[in-house]
Amino acid sequence: MEKSPVIIALDLPSQQEAENFLDRFQGAEKPFIKIGYQLFYRVGPTWVREKKEQGYSIFLDLKLHDIPNTVQKGVSSLLELGIDFLTIHAAGGSEMIRAAREVIDQAQSNLQLLAVTQLTSTDQTMLNNELGIPGTIAESVVNYALLAEKAGAHGVICSAQEAKSIKKSTSGSFLAVTPGIRLAGTDVQDQKRVMTPALAIENGADYLVVGRPITQAADPVAVYQGILEQI
C-alpha cells in the first residue's frame, strides 16, 4: 500500500493522549505517524510495535548518533519493531551511516534511513563559531546530504527551503522529508523556515512532517484531509 505523504508528528505527552488522538481517525485510513523522544521514552518499543501491527506506518525519530558499532546494534534492535522510517545524524559520519545501512540490508528490511543534516535550531553564528564548520548553513546541509547519500542513507530531513537544492544535488530516489509546514495564514509557532504544504511539494519534498497544525486543531482529521487535498 502506498504511504501517505503527510506524516503526523505525534508530539504528545502520554500514551493515553496519543491513543485519544488516533481514535479520532477511526474509519479513515490509518495515518503515517512520527514518534519522537517525548512519546517514545514514555511508551517504549512495545507500543510502537503494537501500532505497527494495527496498520500504522511509523517514523521513529530517534536521531541516532554514536560510534558505528553502537548505532548498528541499536538499529538492529529497532528493526524488530517493523518501523518504516528512522533518523540518524549525518554528523556521525559516513562509517556510522554505512554501519546502520548494512544491518538494514542484511535483514532485507524496507526501513528507510533518513539523515538529519543541520538542525533548524542551528544558525550561522553557531555553525561557524561553535561547531567550527565554515560556510553557510545551506552549503553545510547539501554537504551532509551528499555524505549521507554516499554512505547509504535513503534520504534526509530538511526544511522545505532546502529541498530543492538537495533534490538537485542527489539522485532521483533520495528522499526529502520536510518538517516546518504551516497552513497559509496560521501561527508559525517556534518554526523559523516554514512553508505551506503545496509549496513544499512543489519544492521537491517527498513527505511532509506536520505536527501542531494537526494535533492542536479543533478537528485534526479535517485539517489532515485538507492538507492531503491541497497537495
Instruction: Say which of 30, 52, 63, 164 is annotated catalytic.
Output: 63
Using rule CB under 6 A, residue 212 touches ligand C5P: yes
Interface residue with ligand C5P among 111, 145, 148, 210 (CB under 6 A) is: 210
Tell me the CA end-to-end span of the chain in Å, nearest whole number: 19
Identify residue 179 by its one-letter amino acid code.
P
Q: Does the active-site annotation cover 63?
A: yes
What does the alpha-carbon distance between residue 57 and residue 166 come to, in Å, rounded to a whole number?
Answer: 25
Using rule CB under 6 A, residue 31 touches ligand C5P: no
> Pseudo-torsion of CA 218, 219, 223, 229, nearest 10°?
-160
Give the distance, in angstroms, between the CA of residue 165 and the centroid of all CA atoms in the same chain.
18
What does the alpha-carbon distance between residue 106 and residue 97 come to, in Å, rounded to a whole number?
Answer: 14
To ligand C5P, the closest distance from the beta carbon of 105 in angstroms equals 26
To ligand C5P, the closest distance from the beta carbon of 34 in angstroms equals 6
Name residues contacting ligand C5P, limited to 102-131 (CB under 6 A): 119-120
What does the alpha-carbon distance between residue 183 and residue 198 come to, in Å, rounded to a whole number?
Answer: 9
Task: Give residues with Cβ within 8 angstroms of 132, minimum separation 6.
Answer: none
Number of residues that bind ligand C5P (CB under 6 A): 14
To ligand C5P, the closest distance from the beta carbon of 80 in angstroms equals 24
Interface residue with ligand C5P among 6, 8, 9, 39 (CB under 6 A) is: 9
Residue 117: how many other CB atoms lie within 10 Å: 24
Segment interacting with ligand C5P (CB under 6 A) among 43-51, 96-104, 206-214, 218-226: 206-214
Residue ranges binding ligand C5P (CB under 6 A): 9, 11, 36, 119-120, 157, 179-180, 191, 209-213
